[in-house]
């Protein structure tokens, strides 16, 4: 069922499926943790021992190019990926580093710019600050 869904997703975006691609897409769809390349690699290496990190890099980039995944650059330290491509914003806590999905305020995902000087294909809204639990903890 999740396999099915991952496969369908790939096909829906015109991406030729393979064992590795299906596994990676499935991971994205079932783990909404905004994983990094390394996290995907480490997790999938258990079930696909021959998996190469190069393949994870290539595949996630392929997904992003086809619009099947989002490449998040909210954290300058690392690039994260999101299998949920429906417009939404992201919040990152500057202390614990956790990423959370945030609903976009009405219409913010489709903001149009003045005078059609640009053709916007992607919009990213990033919030940074302190999450609830880090606010409550004593300052480090």
Partner DNA sequence: GTGCTTGCAAATCGTTTGCAATAGC
Partner DNA sequence: GCTATTGCAAACGATTTGCAAGCAC
Q: Residue 71 to residues 80, 99, 116, 138: CA-CA distances in angstroms?
A: 6, 13, 25, 33
Q: Give the residue with the Cβ less far from a second copy, 43 or 130.
A: 130
Q: Does residue 85 interact with a second copy by CB under 8 A? A: no
Token pair in block for residue 63: 């997904």
CA 96 to CA 121: how far, in whole Å? 31
Q: Which of 7, 33, 58, 126 binds DNA (CB under 7 A)?
A: 58
Q: Which stretch binds a second copy (CB under 8 A): 3-11, 20-28, 35-43, 105-113?
A: 105-113
Site size toward DNA (CB under 7 A) is 22
Query: Are residues 131 and 121 in contact, defined by beta-carbon separation less than 8 angstroms?
Result: no
73 binds, among a second copy, DNA, none (CB under 5 to 8 A by kind): a second copy
SS3 8: helix
CA 120 to CA 111: how far, in whole Å? 9
Q: Which stretch binds DNA (CB under 7 A): 56-64, 82-90, 97-105, 111-119?
A: 56-64
13 binds, among DNA, a second copy, none (CB under 5 to 8 A by kind): none
Work out how close the CB of 57 gets to DNA at its nearest, in angstroms, rounded to a whole number: 4
């Amino acid at each position: 069922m999740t396999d099915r869904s991952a496969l369908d997703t790939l096909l829906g975006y015109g991406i030729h499926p393979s064992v590795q691609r299906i596994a990676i897409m499935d991971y994205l769809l079932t783990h909404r943790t905004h994983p990094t390349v390394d996290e995907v690699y480490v997790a999938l290496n258990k079930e696909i021992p021959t998996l190469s990190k190069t393949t994870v890099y290539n595949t996630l980039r392929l997904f992003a190019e086809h619009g099947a995944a989002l490449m998040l650059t909210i954290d300058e330290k690392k690039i994260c990926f999101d299998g949920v491509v429906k417009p939404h914003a992201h919040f990152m806590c500057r202390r614990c580093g956790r990423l959370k999905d945030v609903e976009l305020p009405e219409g913010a995902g489709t903001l149009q710019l003045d005078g059609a000087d640009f053709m916007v294909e992607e919009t990213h809204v990033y919030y940074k600050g302190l999450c609830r639990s880090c606010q409550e903890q004593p300052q480090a």
